[in-house]
Chain A
Amino acid sequence: MLLASPGQLISVSDVASDPQVSAMIDEARAYPQNFGRAEEIYLMKPDLVLVGEYSRTQAAEMLERLGVPVLRLPFARSMEDVAEGIRLLGQALGRAAEAEAMAADFEARLATLRAEVRSNPRAALYSANGYTTGRLSLSGQILLAAGFSNVADEAGIPIGGNLPMERLVMAEPDLLITAAPYPGASRSEDVLRHPAVQAMRAAQTSKMISSNDWVCGTPYVLRAIETLAGERRALDAQDRAGEAGQ
């Protein structure tokens, strides 16, 4: 949606309208919705179908068999992947120049954000079922770019996995970042309301919640990094105030 020229994009998937995971729900409303099913997409007769590397693989294979060109966009795991993805998509859409500009702007803003990092407070990402993500995931990279070190890396979880609540509490992160709850109840999300987790949050001044900016490898990750960098500056200021007080 960020790159295509007017009229070039004919439909977006229903996921684009899900406020939990999409940063562009308002923009997505302007386009007809699809549900990632091979037959509906075939009937739209597109010149190109864009899919995520790991999503709807069956439907994508079927479309290819039917002669529809499919571009699989690699899953972004790092900031470099984000810029790479923008350039790749630009070429596919015949808008390489615009893509190059966007990628360059992204890299420049990222470099500015990275350059201002002075300290490395420790943060933990914690979501339903005690799931956390490490250095080799996009959210882990967002943390690093914003100047935080990740508790998951200390715990030996490079990509993602379960961090037992006990170990989260013992790690005493400076900042706890939880995921926004989905609609409807679930026991998996109970962990976020557990008294031990609540006590940790109460001790921290900020109540950081990860948002839809964190999910996909688009320039919107910068927004997530900027918010986080603000948190880091607040923590730094607190430390300085604490030292001055002593």
Chain B
Amino acid sequence: MRLLFIILILLVAGLFVAGLTVGPADTGFTEALAALVNGGDGPLPLVMREIRLPRALLAVMVGAGLGLSGAALQGYLRNPLAEPGLIGVSNAAALGAVVVIHAGLVASGTLALPFAALGGALIGVFLVLALAGAQGGSLTLILAGIAISALAGALTSLVLNLSPNPFAASEIVFWMMGSLADRSIVHVGLLLPFVLVGGAMILSLARGLDALTLGEDAAETMGYSLTRLRLVLVIGVAAIVGGATAVAGAIGFVGLVVPHILRPFVGAQPSRLLWASALGGAVMLQMADILVRVILPERDLKLGVVTAIVGAPLFLHLIVKTRRESGGGLA
């Protein structure tokens, strides 16, 4: 247990340093870090402080938030397929963000943007939970998620196509697949409160989620109010996914892959899985963000492409496994 956490923390720290020193501009390892710490004149401190540091920080925050949200949703629904991207929450958040940007309500970089994404995410989570229900099986959950994803995605494309700005339409890819390219310290400031508040809300549910593994009745008799738990969970997930999507677009599969890999190491206990998944999410997204910079440095390959290539086969594997366990049918 403790070993797992030490390994994960070391990985997060190591990848953070790697993320700071890998980039299209050729910079020596030590010079780059020295410029970051000492500052000074010239272009290198500018690159390190204004371009690479925000990017590395965002990768940690977005990854941790998505990992945590995935673990929390899976714990609450007791379903390994629940993940913010797959059940449409990320796309709904993207729709919220796109609507306020293109309604001219915000120049991006103000608080209205993450709040609008949060609003979209809230609607998305509520819809999914209402359609699938806490009792609903995998099939209803996934179907409800597909419907919401498709609708939110279509409306996002519509808004972007209606924009008078010729670049807007090409940004559909960003909102659907996500990217951390050219984000700035302003975005770090925007995202931080959302991840902290949402994270604290979700982590406060750890024991309730543990109790829930014994069944809803058992949890109620142990003194956990399910309606309260559900409300806190929904708002916490929406805050994190909304904030993350507003600055980085919709990035799928992190919340699916990470809890799945880590579950055996924490004895399938939701409270431990929450912490482990937050760290694991930070590891996975940092790895993905380094990969996109190494594979195609000039092209801004989207993060969602990498996470989906890793995540989608795992998703299929989980479907097959769920089917086998439930004796043939998904529901």
List residues of chain A with CB under 8 Å of any chain B CB: 128-130, 161-162, 164-167, 169-172, 182-191, 193-196, 199-200
Asked whether, in the complex, the Cβ of A162 is within 8 Å of the Cβ of B52, the reply is no
Which residues 59-117 of B have a CB within 8 angstroms of A? 101-102, 104, 106-109
CB distance from A30 to the nearest CB of B (A): 25
Q: In the complex, what residue of chain B is closest to A163 when comparing beta carbons?
A: B298
- Does chain A have a CB within 8 A of B225? no
CB distance from B160 to the nearest CB of A (A): 9
When distances are taken between beta carbons in the complex, the residues of chain B under 8 Å from A165 are: 51, 182
Asked whether, in the complex, the Cβ of A186 is within 8 Å of the Cβ of B171, the reply is yes
When distances are taken between beta carbons in the complex, the residues of chain A under 8 Å from B165 are: 182-186, 189
Asked whether, in the complex, the Cβ of B182 is within 8 Å of the Cβ of A130, the reply is yes
When distances are taken between beta carbons in the complex, the residues of chain A under 8 Å from B42 are: 172
Asked whether, in the complex, the Cβ of A194 is within 8 Å of the Cβ of B168, the reply is no
Q: In the complex, what residue of chain A is closest to B175 when comparing beta carbons?
A: A187
Asked whether, in the complex, the Cβ of A190 is within 8 Å of the Cβ of B163, the reply is no
Interface flags for B183-208 (1: CB within 8 Å of A; 0: not) read: 01110000000000000000000000
Asked whether, in the complex, the Cβ of B104 is within 8 Å of the Cβ of A184, the reply is yes
User: In whole angstroms, what is the CA distance A53 to B154 when docked?
Assistant: 34
Residue in B43, B168, B297, B298 whose CB lies within 8 Å of A184: B168
When distances are taken between beta carbons in the complex, the residues of chain B under 8 Å from A169 are: 25, 43, 46-47, 51
**When A and B form their complex, which 5 residue pairs have the shortest distance between CB atoms, in order from nearest?**
A184-B165, A188-B167, A164-B24, A166-B25, A196-B50
Asked whether, in the complex, the Cβ of A190 is within 8 Å of the Cβ of B24, the reply is no
Which residues 147-172 of B have a CB within 8 angstroms of A? 163-168, 170-171
Asked whether, in the complex, the Cβ of B182 is within 8 Å of the Cβ of A162, the reply is no
User: In whole angstroms, what is the CA distance A33 to B25 when docked?
Assistant: 47
Asked whether, in the complex, the Cβ of B51 is within 8 Å of the Cβ of A190, the reply is no
Which residues 117-166 of B have a CB within 8 angstroms of A? 163-166
CB distance from A99 to the nearest CB of B (A): 32
Q: In the complex, what residue of chain B is closest to A189 when comparing beta carbons?
A: B167
When distances are taken between beta carbons in the complex, the residues of chain A under 8 Å from B50 are: 194-196, 199
CB distance from B158 to the nearest CB of A (A): 14
Asked whether, in the complex, the Cβ of A184 is within 8 Å of the Cβ of B25, the reply is no
User: In whole angstroms, what is the CA distance A38 to B298 when docked?
Assistant: 38
Asked whether, in the complex, the Cβ of B163 is within 8 Å of the Cβ of A162, the reply is no
Asked whether, in the complex, the Cβ of A166 is within 8 Å of the Cβ of B102, the reply is no
Asked whether, in the complex, the Cβ of B43 is within 8 Å of the Cβ of A185, the reply is no
Q: In the complex, what residue of chain A is closest to B298 when comparing beta carbons?
A: A162
Asked whether, in the complex, the Cβ of A129 is within 8 Å of the Cβ of B25, the reply is no
Kindly state the interface size class of chain B when it binds its partner.
35 or more
When distances are taken between beta carbons in the complex, the residues of chain A under 8 Å from B164 are: 182-184
Whether A172 touches B43, Cβ cut-off 8 Å, given contacts A164-B25, A166-B52, A195-B50, is yes
Interface centre among B107, B167, B184 (most CB of A within 10 A): B167
Asked whether, in the complex, the Cβ of A185 is within 8 Å of the Cβ of B186, the reply is no
Asked whether, in the complex, the Cβ of A187 is within 8 Å of the Cβ of B185, the reply is no
Q: In the complex, what residue of chain A is closest to B186 when comparing beta carbons?
A: A195
When distances are taken between beta carbons in the complex, the residues of chain B under 8 Å from A162 are: 298-300
Asked whether, in the complex, the Cβ of B182 is within 8 Å of the Cβ of A190, the reply is yes
Asked whether, in the complex, the Cβ of A166 is within 8 Å of the Cβ of B104, the reply is no
- Does chain A have a CB within 8 A of B44? yes
User: In whole angstroms, what is the CA distance A162 to B23 when docked?
Assistant: 14
When distances are taken between beta carbons in the complex, the residues of chain B under 8 Å from A128 are: 167
Asked whether, in the complex, the Cβ of A194 is within 8 Å of the Cβ of B101, the reply is no
- Does chain A have a CB within 8 A of B174? yes
Asked whether, in the complex, the Cβ of B182 is within 8 Å of the Cβ of A167, the reply is no
When distances are taken between beta carbons in the complex, the residues of chain A under 8 Å from B184 are: 194-196
Q: In the complex, what residue of chain B is closest to A203 when comparing beta carbons?
A: B46
Residue in B108, B297, B298 whose CB lies within 8 Å of A190: B108
When distances are taken between beta carbons in the complex, the residues of chain A under 8 Å from B166 are: 182
CB distance from B48 to the nearest CB of A (A): 9
When distances are taken between beta carbons in the complex, the residues of chain B under 8 Å from A195 are: 50, 184-186
CB distance from A203 to the nearest CB of B (A): 10
When distances are taken between beta carbons in the complex, the residues of chain B under 8 Å from A130 are: 182
Asked whether, in the complex, the Cβ of A187 is within 8 Å of the Cβ of B171, the reply is yes
A-B contact pairs, 29 of them (CB 8 A): A129-B170, A162-B300, A164-B24, A164-B297, A166-B25, A169-B43, A169-B47, A169-B51, A170-B25, A170-B44, A171-B43, A182-B165, A183-B165, A185-B104, A185-B106, A185-B168, A186-B167, A186-B168, A186-B171, A187-B167, A187-B171, A188-B168, A188-B171, A189-B165, A190-B109, A195-B184, A196-B46, A196-B184, A199-B46
User: In whole angstroms, what is the CA distance A172 to B43 when docked?
Assistant: 7
Q: In the complex, what residue of chain A is closest to B24 when comparing beta carbons?
A: A164
CB distance from B37 to the nearest CB of A (A): 18
User: In whole angstroms, what is the CA distance A167 to B170 when docked?
Assistant: 23
User: In whole angstroms, what is the CA distance A170 to B42 when docked?
Assistant: 8
When distances are taken between beta carbons in the complex, the residues of chain A under 8 Å from B101 are: 185, 187
